[in-house]
Chain A
Amino acid sequence: MIGAPHFLVVAALLFGLGLLGVLVRRNALVVFMSIELMLNAANLTFLAFARFPVRGRPSLDGHAIAFFVVAVAAAEASVGLAVVIAAFRSRGSINVDELRALRN
């Protein structure tokens, strides 16, 4: 029987992978994809808890939140990709390590 733990473990793994990606990868687009992975891991957690609640009865709250998160993430992606393009135009690179015009 597949239950909450399965979904939660998958979500935690996804979140960990995203976290690792943000910390390790240097390409801005890959970093951004990793952040999206983290958001989706949070979504999966919401859905798992809504379907298999720890206490109380299943509720629709988690499902509704997932929709909000998807909408917000889309808005964030549109602005974020524009920012990445602006950075690329001025630097010719989107490598996170090569951004060093601002230093102590």
Chain B
Amino acid sequence: MNASGPDVLAILPELLLTGGALVLALSEVFLRGERRGYQPVVAGVVSALAFASFAANASEPARALFGGFAAQDGLAIFGGATVCVGLFLTVLVGAGFLRVRAAERGEFYALLLLSAAGMCLLLRATDLLLVFVAIELMSVPTYALATYLRTGQRPAEAAFKYFLLGAFSSALFLYGAALCYGATGQTSLRGIAAAGGGPLLVAGLAFLLAGLGFKVAAVPFHMWTPDVYEGSPTPVTTFMSVGVKTAAFVAMLRILVTAFGGTGLAGTVAWGPVVQALAVLTMAIGNLFALTQRSVKRMLAYSSVAHAGYLLVAVAAAANGAVRAEATQGLLFYLAAYTLTAAGAFGAVAMLERRSGASAQPWDLDQFAGLARRRPWAAAATAMLLLSLAGIPPSAGFVGKLLVLRAAVDAGLVPLAVVAVLTSVVGLYYYLRVVVYLYMQPPAEAQEIPVHSWATDAALLATAVAVLAVGIGPGLLSDAATAGAKLFGG
């Protein structure tokens, strides 16, 4: 393996993110002043720079990096740009959230940037070893972030569960990788595709899928999701739901398509039906459990499980070689749309969160009641984001669902598409219930008035406008997703 100059240049976004993380971590040590307003600015600028360096490479032809360990292709670039947008929005949400709670620290942003660097690496990893290392680089900082606010029992408990299940899923993934290595003598995805199959490889794929299933929160590997999402500080939840989901789904697609989707012996492993079953379960369970939640944050956690189900539909459609490009485009578009929407929705949760910590329900629906009277713009933006999550036109979420369902129908998975439509009808109820509280309920007695933070407001308004704009004119984003659907060696 030799690292040539162009290869190092290709991972410039990862280097920028890592460098930014080091600067922030060191600034916390050496600049002892109380003024920490520069930290979110540094983190925001670094994520914008990383986004720009992804965008600058958008027209490059796909190629292998570092002797086949990684790739520079559409998937890596589109996914990386999405992660950077999610990171930027998380920084905006976090800046407001931490200032209100007087908990600004450099390590918060440093850990965010490090985790984002891991995500960008995971997006381009084409070797099971690099996939494993990148998953860990992505996850270990998020374990620490989940326990960032150490007051109260919830964050500690959330981090605890996240860590144990995350480490468990990594171990499953690694054992799967070991079995694949044994069956084929290869760890690179293309090497596995070219080598033979056999029962050992099937067992390996099963473990790989289980490990990735935990990361993307697919049923039956979703048990941690509601607890961890609810207990973690809201900006961290934002980051988990947008960044981790994007990176893990792209990695899952890349592994399945590149290593097990070819025409070689490994390509004969029929993973499509397994992913279909996971998708049905995930859509059904996620939507049904979200119905009964009064805590908006927990509702959004189950909604994130449900959205993982729709994304799995796209992955299942990608099993069919003829519609693979279409399914990949749908997946990428959906991920980008979900990143914008979920970041905004969790931003709204962060804005309205009750700050007196002893309360049993800091994210109760009552906190959302009557927001339209006090802050009409924030209420309108939140309503727009919820409509996008529900998949109502004109919104980015609607176009994303449309693309995914089209790919599923073209792949001949009509029953799966029907289940997706039916479960999203169930979803309407719990999303619209929040809108009803926003507009038609009087403010509750025990309500806390949210503190005004321009950063959180900016994130909320920007995502709402972007979601609406993409919903009305999806051309630009869908063209980018089409360009992104070109896998290296896929």
Contact = CB atoms under 8 A, between A and B. Distances in A.
Contacts of A76: 136, 140, 167, 170
Given A35-B168, A54-B185, A55-B196, A83 B152 contact: no
B15 interface: no
Given A42-B178, A80-B143, A83-B144, A96 B164 contact: yes
Given A65-B187, A79-B140, A86-B150, A102 B181 contact: no
A49 B178 contact: yes
A91 interface: yes
Contacts of B174: 38-39, 42, 69
Interface string A5-35: 0001001000100100010000010011001
Interface in B126-180: 129, 132-133, 136, 140, 143-144, 146-147, 150, 152-154, 156-161, 163-164, 167-168, 170-172, 174-175, 177-179
B231 A101 contact: yes
Contacts of A53: 182, 185
30 contacts: A22-B164, A31-B164, A32-B164, A35-B167, A38-B168, A38-B171, A41-B175, A42-B178, A45-B179, A46-B181, A55-B195, A59-B185, A64-B129, A69-B132, A72-B136, A75-B136, A79-B144, A79-B163, A83-B143, A83-B147, A83-B160, A83-B163, A86-B147, A87-B157, A99-B161, A101-B231, A102-B157, A102-B161, A104-B293, A104-B298
Given A49-B185, A101-B231, A90 B178 contact: no
B183 interface: yes
A59 B178 CA distance: 14
A65 B160 CA distance: 27
Contact of A18 (B146, B171, B293): B171
Interface residues of B, number: 48
Contacts of B298: 104
Contacts of A62: 181
A45 B177 CA distance: 10
A49 B174 CA distance: 14
A49 B182 contact: yes
Contacts of A65: 129, 181, 187
A79 B170 CA distance: 15
Given A65-B181, A102-B154, A104-B226, 6 more contacts: A28-B160, A38-B174, A45-B179, A46-B178, A83-B163, A90-B156
Nearest to B196: A55
A54 B157 contact: no
A69 B132 CA distance: 9
A87 B171 contact: no
Nearest to B187: A61
Contacts of B146: 83
A33 to B, nearest CB: 11
A25 to B, nearest CB: 11
A82 B161 CA distance: 13
Where chain A touches its partner, the secondary structure class is helix
Nearest to B174: A42
A35 B143 contact: no
A72 B140 CA distance: 9
Given A22-B168, A101-B157, A54 B182 contact: yes
Contact of B160 (A8, A18, A87): A87
A39 B184 CA distance: 20
Contacts of B132: 68-69, 72
A56 interface: yes
A32 B292 contact: no
Nearest to A102: B227
Interface in A39-95: 39, 41-43, 45-46, 48-49, 53-56, 59, 61-62, 64-65, 68-69, 72, 75-76, 79-80, 82-84, 86-87, 89-91
A61 to B, nearest CB: 6
B121 to A, nearest CB: 13
Nearest to B151: A90
A9 to B, nearest CB: 13
Nearest to B150: A86
Given A55-B185, A61-B181, A65-B129, A101 B154 contact: yes
Contact of B171 (A28, A42, A55): A42
Contact of B143 (A18, A42, A79, A90): A79
Contact of B175 (A15, A49, A99): A15
Contacts of B154: 101-102
Contacts of A31: 164
Contacts of B143: 79-80, 83
A39 to B, nearest CB: 5
Interface string B413-442: 000000000000000000000000000000
A53 to B, nearest CB: 5
**Most B Cβ at <10 Å: residue of A56, A75, A83:** A83
Contacts of A75: 136, 140
Contact of B156 (A41, A56, A87): A87
Contacts of B156: 83, 86-87, 89-91
A42 B129 CA distance: 12
A32 to B, nearest CB: 7
A74 B226 CA distance: 28
